[in-house]
């Protein structure tokens, strides 16, 4: 069974998950999806996040997807990924969609992925009108593409904090506006990378995008 972990169920996660589930269900590939997020849905984010009710994002979205995609298995973890729980949440051989909005979490997950012999990590993030997608693949203990931090000092040395360490006031203060259309573009590029990997035809390790200039530029870097 294909094991998929979706970390961060915000604007990108809400855009990505329904299409990923539709692809998996109608491909008739047994899959189990675990949604991981410690945050709760707030009405002010409805402009770019789709939830039918208030509550923990992972729990609400997992329940909604389970109703629509009965051939798939879902579970939810209402927690942020931290150094203390990463080994309990992420395992060798899995596909991880990382859709968080902070470099501290990217650094943590990428470093932990580096300790596993086999893992596919697809990470997406954006500012308001631009963003990027990174693909970190390990097979048989060997990195086939660079880690998230290898060419990104902002991830290697994050200046922000893991949301698990923030108070409610600090969490609200750090939030920055995002654009639905950019979330959609990042989600689509992450799904493209997933498909290319499944077809064994991935030819890049990162993609940069700008929705105003309509630019999508793949990049391949040495490991």
pLDDT at res. 171: 58
Question: Average pLDDT for residues 33-42, to the nearest whole number?
Answer: 93
Question: Average pLDDT for residues 190-215, to the nearest whole number?
Answer: 98
Asked if 121 and 190 count as a contact pair (C-beta separation under 8 A), the reply is: no
Query: What does residue 73 show for φ and ψ, rounded to 5 degrees?
Result: -110, 140
Share of the chain above pLDDT 70, in %: 96
Q: What is the pLDDT of residues 40-97, one digit of tens each?
A: 987 777 788 888 899 999 999 999 999 999 999 999 999 999 999 999 999 999 999 9
Residue-by-residue DSSP string for 112-165: HHTTSSSEEEEEEEE-SSEEEEEEEEEETTEESS--TTTT-HHHHS-SS--GGG
Domain boundaries, the chain: 2-219
CA distance 188 to 73: 22
| Single pTM value for the model | 0.96
Q: What is the pLDDT of residues 133-181, one digit of tens each?
A: 999 999 999 999 999 999 999 999 999 999 988 765 555 556 678 999 9
Q: How many CB atoms lie within 10 A of CB 157?
A: 10
pLDDT at res. 100: 97
CA distance 46 to 24: 26
Sign of CA dihedral 43, 109, 93, 89: negative
**CATH architecture of the domain formed by 2-219:** 3-Layer(aba) Sandwich (3.40)
């Amino acid at each position: 069974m294909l094991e998929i972990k979706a970390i961060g169920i915000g604007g990108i996660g809400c855009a990505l998950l329904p299409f990923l589930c539709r692809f998996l269900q109608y491909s008739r590939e047994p899959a189990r999806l675990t949604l991981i997020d410690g945050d709760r849905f707030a009405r002010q984010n409805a402009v770019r996040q789709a939830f039918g009710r208030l509550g923990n994002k992972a729990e609400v979205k997992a329940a909604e997807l389970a109703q629509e995609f009965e051939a798939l298995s879902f579970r939810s973890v209402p927690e942020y990924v931290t150094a203390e729980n990463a080994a309990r949440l992420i395992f060798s051989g899995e596909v991880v969609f990382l859709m968080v909005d902070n470099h501290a979490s990217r650094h943590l997950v990428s470093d932990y992925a580096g300790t596993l012999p086999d893992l596919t990590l697809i990470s997406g993030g954006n500012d308001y009108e631009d963003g990027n997608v990174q693909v970190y693949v390990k097979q048989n203990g060997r990195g086939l593409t660079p880690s998230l931090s290898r060419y990104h000092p902002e991830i290697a040395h994050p200046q922000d904090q893991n949301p698990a360490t923030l108070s409610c006031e600090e969490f609200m203060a750090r939030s920055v506006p995002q654009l639905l259309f950019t979330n959609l573009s990042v989600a689509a590029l992450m799904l493209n990378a997933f498909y290319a990997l499944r077809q064994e035809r991935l030819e890049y390790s990162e993609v940069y995008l700008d929705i105003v200039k309509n630019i999508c530029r793949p990049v391949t870097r040495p490991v």
